């Protein structure tokens, strides 16, 4: 009784010869070839190449996933740099303080993709109407007593206030954010230093996205933005 061996179609064989990478780059085909090779070699022979491939596959998958993560992180970083640069340029376009604050709540907030930007300034004035000092700017500026900023940043905890604080919130502080407070779920708080002898300030960015500002995120870009903001504010407060 004669046995028959089914061979490859000539056209398929020619394609494989011309482009062997098609086979090598296809994991399913390679698994099938390795399995066929093991069957042909018999159960008593150890195929070291097949074992090596099986062990390497999970590592290659992890490397590929890591590669994707690095690319995604790099893209996100570049996107964040671009956002901050655009926001700073827009902020510096203002020709007067009123336009500066208006842009801060409008175009700058839109560029940074936040729902609210508020500026807190401490003052030693004790009367309830101290907000009148800033005239029409009350919607953008909140005036507070000395020590408010430190307490706001530490939330009563025995810890040092950071220059940039990122955190999730159940809702924003109505005293600062006003009507938009109830919609906010995370915030970035940038402590501002206006120079020797002057009370500090605080720039708050509120977002309705719970995950936009969290302690796990980097603060370098926001620290840079805060540094530029400080210098611009010193010019207006001079």
Domain membership of residue 62 (yes or no) is no
Highest mean predicted confidence (pLDDT) among 9-23, 49-63, 217-231? 217-231
Least confident segment among 5-9, 154-158, 178-182, 221-225: 5-9
User: Average model confidence (pLDDT) for the chain?
Assistant: 81
Q: Is residue 27 part of a domain?
A: no
Q: Confirm whether 137 is domain-assigned.
A: yes
Q: Is residue 63 part of a domain?
A: no
126 part of a folded domain: yes
| Phi and psi based region of residue 156 (left: phi greater than 0; alpha: psi -120 to 50; beta: remaining) | left
**What CATH number corresponds to the domain at position 226?**
3.30.450.40
Range of the domain at 185: 93-237
CA distance 222 to 24: 47
pLDDT band of 161, cuts 50, 70, 90: confident
In a domain, 143, yes or no: yes
Q: How would you classify the pairing of strands 141-144 and 116-122?
A: parallel
Tally of domains in the chain:
1
Is residue 121 one of the residues assigned to a domain?
yes
Establish if 217 belongs to a structural domain: yes
CB atoms within 10 A of CB 131: 16
Is the pTM higher than 0.85? The answer reads no
């Amino acid at each position: 009784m004669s046995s028959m061996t089914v061979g490859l179609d000539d056209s398929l064989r020619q394609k494989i010869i011309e482009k062997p990478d098609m086979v090598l780059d296809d994991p399913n085909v390679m698994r099938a070839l390795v399995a066929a090779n093991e069957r042909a070699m018999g159960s008593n022979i150890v195929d070291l190449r097949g074992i090596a491939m099986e062990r390497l596959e999970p590592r290659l998958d992890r490397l590929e996933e890591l590669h994707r993560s690095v690319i995604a992180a790099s893209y996100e970083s570049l996107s964040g740099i671009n956002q901050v640069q655009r926001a700073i340029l827009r902020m510096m376009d203002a020709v007067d303080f009123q336009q500066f604050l208006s842009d801060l709540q409008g175009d700058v907030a839109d560029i940074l993709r936040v729902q609210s930007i508020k500026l807190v300034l401490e003052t030693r004035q004790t009367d309830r109407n101290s907000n009148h000092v800033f005239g029409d700017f009350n919607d953008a500026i909140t005036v507070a007593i000395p020590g408010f900023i430190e307490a706001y940043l530490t939330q009563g905890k025995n810890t040092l206030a950071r220059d940039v604080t990122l955190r999730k919130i159940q809702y924003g502080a109505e005293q600062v954010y006003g009507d938009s407070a109830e919609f906010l779920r995370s915030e970035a708080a940038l402590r501002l230093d206006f120079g020797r002898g002057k009370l500090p300030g605080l720039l708050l960015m509120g977002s309705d996205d719970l995950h936009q500002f969290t302690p796990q995120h980097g603060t370098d870009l926001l620290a840079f933005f805060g540094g530029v903001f400080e210098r611009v504010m010193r010019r207006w407060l001079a």
